[in-house]
Amino acid sequence: MEKKDIKIVNINKSFDGVPVLKDINLEIKQGEFFTIIGPSGCGKTTLLRMIAGFISPDSGAIYLGDQDIIELPPNLRNVNTIFQKYALFPHLNVYENVAFSLRIKKIDEATIDKEVKKYLKLVGLEEHSKKMPNQLSGGQQQRVSIARALINKPGVLLLDEPLSALDAKLRQNLLIELDLIHDEVGITFIFITHDQQEALSISDRIAVMNKGEILQVGTPAEVYEAPANPFVADFLGENNFFSGEVIEIIDEELAKISIKGLGEITIEQDREVKIGDRVNISLRPEKIRLSKKKLKNKKNTVNSFEVYVDEYIYSGFQSKYYVHLKDNENLKFKIFLQHAAFFDDNDSGAIWWDEEAYISWDAYDSYLVEVIPDEKK
């Protein structure tokens, strides 16, 4: 069978002379759970609507398998869309909402019944088939939308922030269900979200967009651990950013940089650098160790500094520490610690505000996010 990968090639689109999509290139594999994430207004919905066929590009092509689908109307694209707002028919009950497209196709009653029941079961709504949309919770309505889209057996399901109207707990649950449904039906899902946690936890791959451009495509671990630039690092998670100058190339993997006000630290060369280069480093708050005593660490890759704790915020599953370098008030770090009972001499559970402590991190835990080009120096 032909592989129905989606291939988006050099897509451009402007509205009223303002470019909204700039030379977009993407390949989405058949069966993938692919997420597009980016700030409001960056062009996510425009791109999705273009795949669905509701907007045509100014230039470029979109392939589904070997077929260029740009000229095809939405109903011939084998693609279904689920929107943020549940667009259910208010005068039809759950069963009839799901059955609707099959009735239009004049499918026989027995098949319709079998299919509707199958998809209502898939989304966990068998018990609610007689209810009208206004008798359902938001999450239930969204499940009806999912069943109604899947019953058409689309090759691709487009989901434009389908969970954003729901509360946090329900979002979590529905997200897990979406993942299970995706595994079960095995079709391509293209999912749009603002929410980095949603994106990181559910996707096979993620595209990070900003201002009409795709900045990076990768697995959740790739975009989180090796962000292409400071924007991606910042959009997906929290960072301590530092800029410094390369002062020594230790070996193929490691280098030393000097950071004004902090001193020398050892970093991994995630990008090729040479002495004199200015670089930006990201250090994720959860990768820093906080301890009362200086760590007895024999590895020469560990960076360690004495700090003063300005603030300690308990936030349930983790604690956040805001500290500054003991010798320099202007150099601040944020550190996130998970709670656990550590019974070693590095016990960090007992560190409070207005205390002195040590921060440590391994050179391999920072990330060289950018070599600053000359004009920015």
Ligand X SMILES: Nc1ncnc2c1ncn2[C@@H]1O[C@H](COP(=O)(O)OP(=O)(O)OP(=O)(O)O)[C@@H](O)[C@H]1O
For ligand X, the binding residues (CB under 6 A) are: 15-16, 20, 38, 40-46, 194
Residues of span 250-269 touching Mg ion by CB under 5 A = none
Nearer to ligand X, 45 or 140 (CB): 45
DSSP character at residue 329: E
Tell the residue number behind the tokens 């000097």, with chain if given. 258
Among ligand X, Mg ion, none, partner that 41 touches (CB below 5 to 8 angstroms by kind): ligand X
Tell the residue number behind the tokens 């996010």, with chain if given. 369
**Cβ-based neighbours of 70, under 8 Å, separated by 6 or more:** 56, 57, 61, 62
Nearer to ligand X, 1 or 18 (CB): 18
Nearer to ligand X, 40 or 300 (CB): 40
Q: In the sheet that 356-362 helps form, which strands lie side by side, from edge to edge?
A: 289-291, 356-362, 302-315, 318-325, 328-338
Position 366 contacts Mg ion (CB under 5 A): no
Residues of span 12-71 touching Mg ion by CB under 5 A = 45
Min dist CB 100 to ligand X, Å, is 27
- Cα separation, 165 vs 70, whole angstroms: 31
Min dist CB 83 to ligand X, Å, is 11
**Nearest CA among 2, 3, 8, 5 for reference residue 48:** 8
Which amino acid is it at 88?
Answer: L
Nearer to ligand X, 21 or 267 (CB): 21
Separate counts of helices (H) and strands (E) for the chain: 8, 20
Min dist CB 61 to ligand X, Å, is 19
Nearer to Mg ion, 81 or 291 (CB): 81
Q: How many CB atoms lie within 10 A of CB 37?
A: 25
Q: Could you tell me how many residues of this chain bind Mg ion (CB under 5 A)?
A: 1
Nearer to ligand X, 43 or 227 (CB): 43
Q: Looking at 6-151, list the stretches that DSSP marks H as alpha helix, in order from N- to C-terminal side.
A: 44-52, 94-104, 109-122, 138-150
Min dist CB 15 to ligand X, Å, is 3
**Nearest CA among 20, 86, 19, 90 for reference residue 48:** 20
End-to-end alpha-carbon separation of the chain, Å?
53
Calculate Rg over the CA atoms of the chain. 25
Among Mg ion, ligand X, none, partner that 280 touches (CB below 5 to 8 angstroms by kind): none
Question: Cα 330 vs. chain centroid, distance in angstroms?
Answer: 32
Among ligand X, Mg ion, none, partner that 46 touches (CB below 5 to 8 angstroms by kind): ligand X
Q: Looking at 230-308, list the stretches that DSSP marks H as alpha helix, in order from N- to C-terminal side.
A: 230-235
Distances in whole angstroms, Cα of residue 58 to Cα of each of 49, 61, 79, 250, 350: 14, 10, 21, 50, 60
Min dist CB 105 to Mg ion, Å, is 30
- Cα separation, 171 vs 193, whole angstroms: 12
Min dist CB 44 to Mg ion, Å, is 5
Nearer to ligand X, 194 or 324 (CB): 194
Min dist CB 195 to ligand X, Å, is 11
Nearer to Mg ion, 45 or 280 (CB): 45
Min dist CB 45 to Mg ion, Å, is 3
Nearer to ligand X, 223 or 363 (CB): 223
Min dist CB 55 to Mg ion, Å, is 12
Interior CA angle at 327 toward 326 and 329, to 5°?
Answer: 75
Interface residues with Mg ion (CB under 5 A) are: 45
